[in-house]
Amino acid sequence: MSTATAKAVRQLHFELPPLPYAQDALEPAISAETLALHHDKHHKKYVDTMNELLSKTEVRGSTLEDVVRSSQGKLFNNAAQAWNHGFYWQSLSPKGGAPSGALRQRIERDFGTYQSFCDKFAAAANGQFGSGWAWLIDKDGKLEVVATPNAETPMARGQRCLLTLDVWEHAYYVDYRNQREKYVQAVIEKRLNWEFAAKNLDAK
Ligand SMILES: [Fe+2]
């Protein structure tokens, strides 16, 4: 058997996932214009650049999570941003609301009150200097709020992510200009997807 046939290299390629709702579904908290730019231009660019790099790189594994966890540098930045954005779209919902059931109990156990969680999440999102993300994670059985810079993601460290909020300027500049805190407040009050968070908490 020739080396070429023995070592068939699988080419990894990922598609841009569609938004899970219409472009205007998150208004007025996030406008259709922002979603069009953010998903169709920014997210797409990360996916395209990742695919371009993957066409020249051998990576262990087959999922996007595998690529994020096993890469560094430019490939990591683009793959992590591809994953973070897919997770972010699902972290938002036109329905909004507040957590209930077992997730509500966990939030009250680990943060004291739901309001206290909201305050911590907002502080993490507003306090992230420059570009990055705020996250609700389950770290070794305890819910925590963390912020990460640039493309960094708790998923790469094997931590279970429940929700995220993109605080790169492209997420809010069209709607709120420099007022990140207004975007953060609007999303926390009206657009977090608590059903998605509960599903992630339950996932094994
Ligand atoms: Fe973004």
DSSP-assigned letters across all residues of 121-164: HHHHHHHS-SSEEEEEEEETTEEEEEEEETT--GGGGTPEEEEE
**Residue 186, pLDDT score:** 98
Q: How far is the CA of 3 from the centre of ligand 1 (A)?
A: 42
Compute the distance from residue 88 Cα to the ligand 1 centre, in Å. Answer: 8
Q: Report which of 132, 12, 46 is spatially closest to residue 146, judged by C-alpha positions.
A: 132
Query: Is residue 178 helix, strand or coil?
Result: coil
Residue 8 pLDDT exceeds 70:
no
| Tens digits of residue pLDDT in 159-180 | 999 999 999 999 999 999 999 9
Amino acid found at 146 = V
Looking at residue 18, its pLDDT comes to: 98
d(CA 104, ligand 1 centre) in Å: 28
One-letter amino acid for residue 21 of the chain? Y
Residue 32 Cα to ligand 1 middle (Å): 14
CA distance 176 to 183: 7
Q: How far is the CA of 131 from the centre of ligand 1 (A)?
A: 9
Percent over 90 (pLDDT), the chain: 91
DSSP string, 17-37: PPPSS-TTTTTTTS-HHHHHH
CA of 180 to the centre of ligand 1 (A): 13
User: What pLDDT score does 49 carry?
Assistant: 98
Mean pLDDT of 11-22: 96
CA of 170 to the centre of ligand 1 (A): 6
Q: What is the pLDDT of residue 6?
A: 40
Q: Please name the helix (run of DSSP H) or strand (run of DSSP E) that holds residue 107, with its range, or none.
A: helix 101-111
Q: Could you tell me the pLDDT band of residue 1, with boundaries at 50, 70 and 90?
A: very low
**So what's the pLDDT on residue 9?**
59
Residue 166 Cα to ligand 1 middle (Å): 6
Return the structure tokens found at 32. 């259709």
pLDDT grade for 203, boundaries at 50, 70 and 90: confident
Backbone angles phi, psi at 190, to 5 degrees: -130, -10
When pLDDT is averaged across residues 8-25 and rounded to a whole number, the result is 90
pLDDT at 137 over 60: yes
CB < 8 Å & 24+ apart, contacts of 8-16:
9/58, 10/62, 11/54, 11/55, 12/54, 12/59, 12/62, 12/67, 13/51, 13/54, 13/55, 14/47, 14/50, 14/51, 14/54, 14/64, 14/82, 15/47, 16/43, 16/44, 16/47
Whole-number mean pLDDT of the chain?
94
Tell me the CA–centroid distance for residue 109 and ligand 1, in Å: 31
